[in-house]
Chains A and B, each alone.
Chain A
Amino acid sequence: MKKHILSGIKLTAVCLVFFSGIYTLFILGIAQMAPNQGKGEIVEANGKKQYLNIGQSFTDGKYFNSRPSAVAYNAAGSGGSNKGPSNPEYLAEVKQRIDTFLIQNPEIKRSEIPADLVTASGSGLDPNISAQAAKVQVKRITKIRNINEQKLVHLIAENTDKPLLGVFGPEKINVLQLNIALDKIK
């Protein structure tokens, strides 16, 4: 019995070195060959560094707005709302979001608003919106920025990510990428 305990302790030490140490260092080594040395995908905007995959809060009317977030896009503390589908408080909140959206975008019909634009994501850091969610914001942005509507429709089409290999999963738009491109339109 004592022998097993002693062997167990030694085996634990070896496994720790191997699985926590060597495995980690090996992956860390490969990371040096990955994009941006394994520090996350980066894009530059106005000379500032941005994480492409981390959703940002866009609440300003002149930008395509991102989805609601339970943690206000705090990338150091992700989280969802965890509200149940029948929770009356939650449903009232969604209703409120729809009404606010209709006030900010008076040309849009209620039935055109896609659900993702008025519900919070799981991580609170969703970098994407659906194509429909971008389309319903075009009229507002056209007015504020005073640019051609057709240009914006074109911009959305350009920035829509097709399903993986064209067949797997949904279509989506990276809001940050879209807004960076939007800022470039003169």
Chain B
Amino acid sequence: MNTEIIGIVAMFLITLGLSIPLGKYIAKVYTGQKTFLDPVFNPIEKLFYKISGIDATKEMNWKQHMFVLLTLNTIWFLLGMIILMCQGWLPLNPDNNPNMTADLAFNTAISFLVNCNLQHYSGETGVTYLSQLFLMFLQFVSAGIGLAAAAVLFNALKERTTEKLGNFYNYFIKSCTRILLPVSVVVAVVLLFNGTPMTFEGKDTITTLQGDTVQVSTGPVAAFTAIKHVGTNGGGFFGTNSSHPLENPNYFTNMVEMIAQMIIPFAMIFALGFYLNRRKLSWMIFSVMTIGFLALTVPTVMAEMNGNPEIEAMGIDTSNGATEGKEVRFGAAASGYWSIATTVISTGSVNSMHDSAMPLSGMNQLLAMMVNCFYGSCGVGLLNFYIFIILAVFISGLMVGRTPEFLGKKIEAREMKIAMIVALFHTLLILVGVALSTGFPEQGASTLNNPGFHGFSEILYEFTSSSANNGSGFEGLGDNNPWWNITTGIVLLLSRFLPIIGPIAIAGILANKKHIPESAGTLKTDTTTFGLMIFSVIAIIAALSFFPALALGPIAEYFSMK
């Protein structure tokens, strides 16, 4: 078989193999059981709590959890604005990069805060090393927030009636120190020994073999790139993210970065099963997500490997695929695979330019973000999926004439209202944003890099990526101006916090309800039938509502090509 195909199959299987033990470990961390890292992290965490004056044993209800979450995020946002707008005056700036403008700082601070990492600047010229380190801090804590929110969900799904759902600080700190940090250290070390730089020196000047003088940007890339993937953040150190040869030097690092970004989203699904002792439920969720993932990946990899028909028509050899925007060391298959992996799990790092991908690949990347819960990002993917579970339970309950229940809790009108608002909100944000940008062509269309249908896809992609907190882009779009900075900044904020608060609210309300023991009349939720039900709900709500928009962009482009 083709070595490019073997490469991507291996990436998937290795991720799956490693994520099951990691899931077991994560479940232990959240239940407070002993793990082998206790001797290292117990004293460190104690110090954290002591300095901050936090009692990490005090249990909270869902509203208190969300209050702490929002407080922390507000502090980080304000700090981010200050640092980014003053970076030119602060230390660690060997390349003398300037301060950010207010609108760019607004967009960047929010974008990293919400785990999106949409970047309207280029790493080489737009930020200083100090800002990079601060953004790296946000990459840790924003992923930690997502994981902590999922831990609250885990706790709420237990079979009992209570208001108390653990302590948010406890979940948050443990997610950062015991899950994100150790994995990041491993990844960073692997990258270091494969040629990724880790230095605080500024630009280097060299004379090339042909005699040109070239400046080379470096920096503390290895540390940054590790957490960028482990925390499903995706913000690149350099402008072109993981297609840059220092950020992703070879096929091996490409595999490591790919595994690093998918492993925690995979592991969280299994952690849920270990935590609740319902492994079958985990496998049902994993299967539904994987079917969705494969349905998007396979056609994309094929389209990229087949190459651009317009270029093939010029009579040259396109056997190595659609090479525009791709690196030779990764090849078309691994680039196509990455483009779907990064959009389903909401990392948003790229190893090829999505703007230059084939029309149907672009459509699949968009669909991956529109659905936003095939695996999904650190923690939040499961929260999104939970919404679809609630909807599916309700619909199937009505279809067979039983009271809709999930894990022994009755689902009623209030929960359904929240679930529907969350599910439709994503659609609303994307379509309203796209409509505004196309409605005011002096703002939207004037910033495009490509004409026609593809130009429309650029706008659609930008808002979809923002609303899915993904962060990748059709990067041809000239997006560093007040219009894009402010509109996407607002979309980012809304689309991050509502989909966290909504599911946690549902879970919190359900946890407080009377537990109904399982009986013959209970709708089984860990079966294939129910899996199919969820898949249909996702297809109807997420995919179909975007069909008209997709028809105007990638689908029209596909049919317009030879």
Residues of A within 8 A of B (CB): 1, 3-16, 18-21, 23-24, 26-28, 30-31, 34-35, 37-41, 45-46, 48-60, 63, 67, 73-91, 94-95, 98, 110-116, 118-130, 132, 163-164, 166-172, 176, 179-180, 183
Contacts and interface: CB of A to CB of B under 8 A. Distances in A.
Contact of B329 (A46, A86, A172): A172
A54 B226 CA distance: 20
Interface stretch (B66-74, B384-392, B417-425, B489-497): B66-74
B209 A122 contact: no
Interface stretch (B105-113, B131-139, B148-156): B131-139
A130 B321 CA distance: 12
A22 to B, nearest CB: 10
A18 B76 CA distance: 15
B3 A31 contact: no
Interface of B: 3-4, 6-7, 10, 44, 47-48, 51-54, 67-68, 71-72, 75-76, 79, 122, 124-125, 133-134, 136-137, 140-141, 169, 176, 181, 184-185, 188-189, 192-193, 195-201, 203-204, 206-210, 212, 214-218, 220, 222-223, 226, 238-240, 243-246, 249-252, 254-255, 307-308, 310-311, 314-331, 334-335, 350-353, 355-359, 449-455, 457, 474-476, 557, 560-561
Q: Which 10 A-B pairs have the closest CB atoms?
A: A82-B476, A84-B454, A122-B243, A170-B331, A169-B251, A128-B328, A38-B198, A31-B198, A80-B353, A168-B7
A16 to B, nearest CB: 5
A57 B210 contact: yes
A95 B51 contact: no
Contacts of B356: 80-85, 122
A26 B188 CA distance: 10
Given A23-B184, A81-B356, A170-B251, 4 more contacts: A8-B68, A84-B450, A115-B321, A115-B322
Interface centre among B10, B210, B561 (most CB of A within 10 A): B210
Interface centre among A20, A38, A67, A132 (most CB of B within 10 A): A38
A95 B311 CA distance: 8
A180 to B, nearest CB: 7
Nearest to B449: A82
Given A53-B245, A57-B210, A168-B10, A77 B137 contact: no
B114 to A, nearest CB: 16
Contacts of B450: 82-84, 87, 90
A11 B245 contact: no
Contact of B124 (A10, A76, A171): A76
Contacts of A183: 209
Contacts of A38: 192, 196-199, 222
A27 B453 CA distance: 45
A86 B560 contact: yes
A11 B65 CA distance: 16
B352 A84 contact: no
Nearest to B254: A169
B148 to A, nearest CB: 13
B2 to A, nearest CB: 9
A86 B316 contact: no
Given A82-B474, A121-B243, A130-B328, A168 B3 contact: yes
B327 A110 contact: no
Given A6-B53, A78-B238, A78-B239, A63 B210 contact: yes
Given A24-B223, A167-B3, A118 B75 contact: no
Nearest to A124: B240
Contacts of B3: 163, 166-171
A171 B67 CA distance: 53
Given A54-B246, A75-B217, A115-B321, A128 B209 contact: no
Nearest to B216: A75
B454 A87 contact: yes
B246 to A, nearest CB: 6
Nearest to B251: A169
Contact of A24 (B207, B220, B240, B249): B220
Contact of A7 (B54, B214, B320): B54
22 contacts: A5-B75, A7-B54, A12-B72, A35-B195, A48-B207, A50-B208, A52-B195, A57-B212, A74-B214, A80-B325, A82-B476, A84-B450, A86-B310, A116-B328, A122-B352, A123-B245, A126-B245, A132-B317, A166-B3, A167-B3, A170-B329, A179-B209
